[in-house]
């Protein structure tokens, strides 16, 4: 029988996964409705598409600030306050009548999501032993991965009846459910607040060289994932002349690979002592898979299968990196996890920029070499002086 220290806090993990699903849905569920939003807000499609970038910037800033704040004042205020604030921000998006209002509330929603996503990782990692952190964080991340598999298709289906404004109201309701779940599952738990009389943690204290390398590894992994996640549907459409409806199943297969890799990656991170080496192997093999995916276009079924393999290998890397980050001292864990959220946003913005540049210059033939180079850069960071070893 498992001892109390070995038991997984499944209610907390489920609440955290729901909150991550909600945060991811606050932005990605706009994807099917960009044309409708542009029409309703009397603006261009390009400007509506830039709402994602605006959301990422505020998410990154809030993640860094909230992570440091959670080490000073505790995690519950950010977990509960962030989810409630997200509810109001999504209601604001749903009621926007002009593009300026939509920008304001979209930026606010990104900031609200950043308030609690990094703090969630800090809270969950604090409630499990070192040998379980990879598995626990893998399950939490699966909530975010489910957005692509369930959230976006469900939003498109529901949105056909209630429109994009109604979908944003549904996300607001999810934020309320997430808040209630976090209130229940974190009640009575130590929430990371520093003891009276102790020195407040500083950013400089949190940013040791091993932590900086791990954060750099996180940026490389997000760039590699984003390059394919953002452009995979376009790649299939341009290469095999598929319609938008026809890419639904390939995208579901792609999302399934991400979820499976994330969950299995958490198991591997807990069983293999050297977590950075696990990350390095996963990234290097995913780079090789990317070369094959974008360089060997023999049929749609082969490309979809290669897409599954690529995203599966890529997803294996992230739980190992996060579990290694969770090994930092408890008094700076919130700060470090908040910085990880900031670095993830930087990775997404880097993927968008590099992908756009590659599309304009080389086309999809350049995606494979670009992804392989970034993946090898991340693997190299992981192997430099072995930043942090697992338990």
The CATH number of whichever domain residue 22 belongs to comes to 1.20.1250.20
- Tally of CB atoms within 10 A around 240: 16
Give the angle 166-168-170 at the CA atoms, nearest 5°.
70
Cα of 73 vs its chain's centroid, Å: 25
**Does 360 fall in a domain?**
yes
pLDDT mean over 256-282: 91
- The predicted-structure confidence for 187-216, as pLDDT tens digits, reads as follows 755 455 544 445 555 566 667 888 899 999
Mean of the per-residue pLDDT values for the chain?
86
Burial (CB < 10 A; 0-12, 13-18, 19+), residue 27, is: buried
Determine the Cα–Cα distance for residues 75 and 349; give it in Å rounded to an integer: 27
39 vs 57: CA distance, rounded Å: 25
Residues 223 and 175 in one domain: no
**226 and 308 part of one domain:** yes
Domain boundary among 134, 154, 186: 186
Sign of the dihedral defined by the CA atoms of residues 344, 348, 351, 353, in that order: negative
Specify the range with the lowest mean pLDDT, choosing from 213-227, 309-323, 352-366: 352-366
Packing angle between helix 10-28 and helix 152-186, nearest 10 degrees?
A: 140
Number of domains in the chain: 2
Residue 115 lies in a domain: yes
121-158 pLDDT, tens digit each: 999 988 888 788 888 988 998 888 888 778 877 887 88
* Residues 223 and 279 grouped into a single domain: yes
CA dihedral 71, 73, 75, 76 (to 10 degrees): 180
Of 139, 158, 186, the one marking the end of a domain is 186
Same domain as 176, residue 280? no
- Does residue 388 lie in a domain region? no
Residue 64 within a domain: yes
Q: Is the pLDDT of residue 388 over 50?
A: no
Q: What is the pLDDT of residue 326?
A: 86
Distance separating alpha carbons of residues 117 and 51, to the nearest angstrom: 19
**Predicted local confidence at residue 389, as pLDDT:** 45
Same domain, 228 and 286: yes
Q: Is residue 162 situated within a structural domain?
A: yes
When pLDDT is averaged across residues 257-277 and rounded to a whole number, the result is 90
Question: Cβ(24)–Cβ(229) under 8 Å?
Answer: no
Same domain, 297 and 161: no
CB 186 within 8 A of CB 75: yes
The per-residue pLDDT for 204 is 64
Do the domain assignments include residue 197? no
Residues 151 and 223 in one domain: no
| Residue 17 and residue 121 in one domain | yes
Q: Which two tokens stand for residue 358?
A: 């590659």
Residue 194 lies in a domain: no
Query: Residue 191 falls within a domain, yes or no?
Result: no
- Per-residue pLDDT tens digits for 13-45: 999 999 999 999 998 888 778 778 888 999 887
> Do 364 and 221 share a structural domain?
yes
Pair 209, 74 in one domain: no
Is residue 351 very low, low, confident or very high in pLDDT (cuts 50, 70, 90)?
confident
What percentage of the chain carries pLDDT values higher than 90? Answer: 46
**Sign of the CA dihedral with 233 first, then 236, 239, and 240 last:** negative
Q: Are residues 173 and 86 in the same domain?
A: yes
Are 262 and 339 within one domain?
Answer: yes
Residue 386 has pLDDT above 60, yes or no: no
The domain of 63 spans: 10-186
pLDDT at 390 over 50: no
Among the candidates 186, 219, 249, a domain finishes at: 186
């Amino acid at each position: 029988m498992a001892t109390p220290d070995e038991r997984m806090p499944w209610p907390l993990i489920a609440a955290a996964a729901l909150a991550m699903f909600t945060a991811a849905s606050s932005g990605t569920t706009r994807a099917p409705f960009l044309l409708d939003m542009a029409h309703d807000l009397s603006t261009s499609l390009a400007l509506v598409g830039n709402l994602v970038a605006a959301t990422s910037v505020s998410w990154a800033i809030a993640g860094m600030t909230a992570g440091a704040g959670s080490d000073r004042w505790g995690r519950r205020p950010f977990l509960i306050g962030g989810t409630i604030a997200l509810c109001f921000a999504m209601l604001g998006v749903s009621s926007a009548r002009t593009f300026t209002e939509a920008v304001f509330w979209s930026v606010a929603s990104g900031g609200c999501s950043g308030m609690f996503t990094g703090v969630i990782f800090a809270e969950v990692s604090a409630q499990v032993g070192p040998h379980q952190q990879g598995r626990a964080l893998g399950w939490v991340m699966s909530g975010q991965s489910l957005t692509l598999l369930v959230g976006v298709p469900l939003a498109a289906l529901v949105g056909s009846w209630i429109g994009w404004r109604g979908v944003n109201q549904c996300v607001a309701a999810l934020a309320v459910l997430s808040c209630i779940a976090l209130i229940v599952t974190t009640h009575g738990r130590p929430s990371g607040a520093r003891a009276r009389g102790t020195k407040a943690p500083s950013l400089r204290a949190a940013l040791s060289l091993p932590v900086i390398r791990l954060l750099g590894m996180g940026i490389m992994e997000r760039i590699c994932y984003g390059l394919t996640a953002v452009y995979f549907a376009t790649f299939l459409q341009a290469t095999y002349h598929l319609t938008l409806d026809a890419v639904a199943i390939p995208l579901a297969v792609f999302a399934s690979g991400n979820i499976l890799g994330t969950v299995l990656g958490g198991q591997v991170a807990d069983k293999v002592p050297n977590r950075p080496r696990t990350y390095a192997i996963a990234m290097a093999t995913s780079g090789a898979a990317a070369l094959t995916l974008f360089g060997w276009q023999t049929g749609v079924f082969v490309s979809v299968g290669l897409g599954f393999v690529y995203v599966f290998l890529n997803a294996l890397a992230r739980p190992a990196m996060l579990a290694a980050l969770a090994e930092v001292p408890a008094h700076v864990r919130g700060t470090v996890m908040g910085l990880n959220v900031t670095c993830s946003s930087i990775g997404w913005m880097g993927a968008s920029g590099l992908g756009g540049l590659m599309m304009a210059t080389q086309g999809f033939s350049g995606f494979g070499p670009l992804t392989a180079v970034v993946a090898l850069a991340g693997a190299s960071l992981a192997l430099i002086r072995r930043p942090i070893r697992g338990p």
